[in-house]
Amino acid sequence: MTKINMTVNGRAVSAEAEDRTLLVEFLRSGLNLTGTHVGCDTSQCGACLVHVNGEAVKSCTMLAAEAEGAEVTTIEGMANADGSLSTIQAAFQEHHGLQCGFCTPGMVMSAAALLKDNPKPSEAEVRDYLEGNICRCTGYHNIVKAIMAASGQLDAIAAE
């Protein structure tokens, strides 16, 4: 067992964990932040996507110890300070960017990483960036629509 320290959603956390604990287990079981999902366990589906020091990574192929001292953001940290939905979350709700909802935390985190670097992506850029996130319901169209709306470009997709 090792004491692992990191900042999760702006809060300093410290918990004992076995060295072999994956970051996603640490978040889900250690910190009870179950919004981050485990879909495939092999870094393909992207349901476990979180931000580590601002970069989108898949938390199912990263040990918690690798994130020692890091700033981690999960879906639970995406809402505004007053608890209301962030622009991206609200857009997913408004445009029904989900069906079963399992991939949604990863999709929202991916969208946030994209819009941070590229605030006005084209539809093609959105689809390209979501390469690492799989929606088993195949609800991609509305996910893309939600992200375009969140970037203030709903017109670009409404013109279709």
Contacts to other proteins by CB under 8 A: 2, 18-20, 22, 41-44, 46, 49, 55-58, 60-63, 65-66, 68, 110, 113, 129, 131-133
Cβ distance to other proteins smaller for residue 96 or 136: 136
Q: How far is the CB of 34 from other proteins (least distance, A)?
A: 20
The string of DSSP letters for 76-121 reads GG-S-TTSPPPHHHHHHHHTT--SS-SSHHHHHHHHHHHHHH-SS-
Say which amino acid occupies 23: L
**For the chain, what is the total number of helices (H) and then of strands (E)?**
6, 5
Query: Do residues 7 and 52 lie in contact, with contact meaning Cβ atoms separated by under 8 Å?
Result: no
3-state SS class at 140: helix
Nearer to other proteins, 69 or 83 (CB): 69
> For other proteins, which is the closer residue by CB, 16 or 55?
55
Per the CB < 8 A criterion, the answer to whether 71 and 6 are in contact is yes
User: Least distance (Å) from other proteins to the CB of residue 78?
Assistant: 17
Residue 69: how many CB atoms within 10 A of its CB?
9
Q: Closer to other proteins at the Cβ: 94 or 128?
A: 128
